[in-house]
Amino acid sequence: MIGLLEDKRTEFKVKITDSLEREVIAFLNTDGGNIFIGVDDKGNIQGNLGNIDLLQRTIKDRLKDNIMPSTLGLFDVVVNEKDGKKYIQIVIAKGNERPYYLRGMGMNPDSCFIRIGSSVESMNSETILSLFSKRTRNSLKNIKSPKQDLEFKTLKIYYQESGYEINDNFLKKLDLYDDNNEFNYIAYLLSDNNNISVQFAKYEGDDVYNLIENEDFGFCSLIKITDNILNKIMLENKTYTKIETPTRKEIKMYDYSAVKELITNALVHNDWCNGYSPKFEMFSNKLVISSNGGIQEGISQEEFLEGFSNPRNPELMRIFRDLNFVEQLGTGIQRVLKTYNKNIFEFFPNHIRVTVPFNKNEFKENLVSSTNIITQNLNNLQKSIIKLIMDKPDITQEELARLLDVNKRTIIRNFKVLLDEKYIERVGANKNGYWKINNL
């Protein structure tokens, strides 16, 4: 069993049926939820889904092709396994362009559905008109880009590195055009050159009175902005050591995986319509992340913290998921809360602030940065390589070149120094192995 019951947010199906789109539309038009395929009405996993990879692709195609408005960024199709049996979980967010309906049938009771308890019901005409009148009209895809001479070399490189083929229809598939076939604001955010400023400030103490660093990561593709900020955060994440004879204990300043989720969420779910960018501030004892726009309409604070999703910018969410900056829809906050308490979140009418406390205060005595122990004779680039390997032992030279903004030949040359001096060594094969740091 999967430990759930059918209810307003949960539906079980032994196999895929012709009613799949109706079920998904009902969740989109209500509060989102999950459809489990390969599971009977009592929650028992049946499996027996045949070619599950083909089924997964079929579901994605049906939901993209047969539902209007666009569902991109509003659902995930995940293959799970328990007790040797595989089943599919379709994670559906609450849509922000309701009502959703069957393509080709228009908005009417035969095409629009809602979730009532554990059943799917047709939506009446009054509800359809009410939802349509409240439909989000300031969606980024409906806002015209302030510039139309846009280029997307960076975006294409990231997609190619993630294994996607780039064709003439690439930009259209990503919903980068408005209804007049002009570039929209999503395109502007993802273009190589824009006027989006995203600042990272660093202070010496625990307040804003002594600014020691202020770097602007903006004016380029939001994807590259995100990558650069994550790289900065990775490099700042020092390892501290407390020696208590005969043991030695090490700890990172903060949990990088959790902070990565918070930073990515701040950039993806920011209310870009108002012209304000997220803000990132590092103090001596904490990291503060502020994003604009409160919790999306229809989601309470409790539901937000439980992981229920209502993406403000589903088109951006889809792209960030394609490029592996985010994982399964709605799971990011849950991963953060495995490490940090709910009180790191502060909710305001027009923004959300997250304060991540640093761990180093636990190590006041004999506090030493372990990276300094082994890297004192290295240049800055080699030290950066060491730090990145510490956080991601399976990192590739291509990733290092991109993160450190140098060419691969430079990485190879510095790698040779690290290998020759035995600072690092390779463990395992090129494809499945990892880098090990010596002398820690």
Token code pair at residue 228: 């650069």
Task: Count the domains in the chain.
Answer: 4
Q: Does residue 242 sit in the same domain as residue 165?
A: no
pTM over 0.95? The answer is no
- Judged against a pLDDT cut of 50, whether residue 343 lies above it is answered with yes
Q: Does residue 234 sit in the same domain as residue 344?
A: yes
Token code pair at residue 230: 């994550």
Is the CB of residue 175 less than 8 Å from the CB of residue 70? yes
Is the CB of residue 251 less than 8 Å from the CB of residue 240? yes
Name residues whose C-beta falls within 8 Å of residue 392's C-beta, 6 or more positions apart in sequence: 234, 399
Q: Does residue 183 sit in the same domain as residue 220?
A: no
d(CA 340, CA 248): 24
Q: Does residue 204 sit in the same domain as residue 275?
A: yes
Domain assignment present for residue 287? The answer is yes
Q: Does residue 238 sit in the same domain as residue 118?
A: no
Instruction: Give the pairing type, strands 113-116 and 75-82.
Output: unpaired
Q: Does residue 203 sit in the same domain as residue 175?
A: no
Q: Which long-range contacts (CB under 8 A, 24 or more apart) does 337-341 make?
A: 337/305, 338/258, 339/255, 339/257, 339/258, 340/255, 340/258
pLDDT of 389-404, one tens digit each? 877 888 888 888 888 8
Domain assignment present for residue 353? The answer is yes
CA nearest to 34, candidates 124, 101, 115: 115
Angle between helices 222-236 and 380-391 (to 10 degrees): 90
CATH of the domain at 266: 3.30.565.60
Token code pair at residue 398: 């291509």
- Judged against a pLDDT cut of 70, whether residue 225 lies above it is answered with yes
- Judged against a pLDDT cut of 70, whether residue 75 lies above it is answered with yes
Q: Which long-range contacts (CB under 8 A, 24 or more apart) does 319-325 make?
A: 319/73, 319/174, 319/190, 319/223, 320/223, 320/226, 320/264, 320/268, 321/73, 321/76, 322/159, 322/162, 322/164, 323/158, 323/159, 323/162, 323/223, 324/162, 325/223, 325/226, 325/264, 325/268
Q: Does residue 98 sit in the same domain as residue 158?
A: no
Domain coverage including residue 20: 10-134
Domain assignment present for residue 2? The answer is no
Name residues whose C-beta falls within 8 Å of residue 311's C-beta, 6 or more positions apart in sequence: 73, 74, 93, 96, 268, 269, 296, 317, 329
Q: Does residue 383 sit in the same domain as residue 355?
A: no
Domain assignment present for residue 324? The answer is yes
Q: Does residue 123 sit in the same domain as residue 84?
A: yes
Express as a percent the part of the chain with pLDDT over 70: 92
Domain assignment present for residue 433? The answer is yes
Distance spanning both ends of the chain, measured CA to CA: 45
Can you give the length of the chain in residues?
A: 440
Domain assignment present for residue 376? The answer is yes
- Running DSSP on this structure, what letter comes out for residue 215? E
d(CA 144, CA 183): 6
pLDDT of 34-51, one tens digit each? 999 999 999 999 988 999
pLDDT of 168-220, one tens digit each? 999 999 999 988 899 999 999 999 999 999 999 999 999 999 999 999 999 99
Token code pair at residue 429: 């094969």
Residue 347: other Cβ atoms inside 10 A: 13
Domain assignment present for residue 247? The answer is yes
Q: Does residue 184 sit in the same domain as residue 221?
A: no
Band (pLDDT 50/70/90 cuts) for residue 275 is confident
Is the CB of residue 176 less than 8 Å from the CB of residue 184? yes
For CA atoms 37, 42, 43, 49, give the dihedral sign: negative
Q: Does residue 16 sit in the same domain as residue 66?
A: yes
Q: What is the pLDDT of residue 371?
A: 45
Q: Does residue 341 sit in the same domain as residue 236?
A: yes
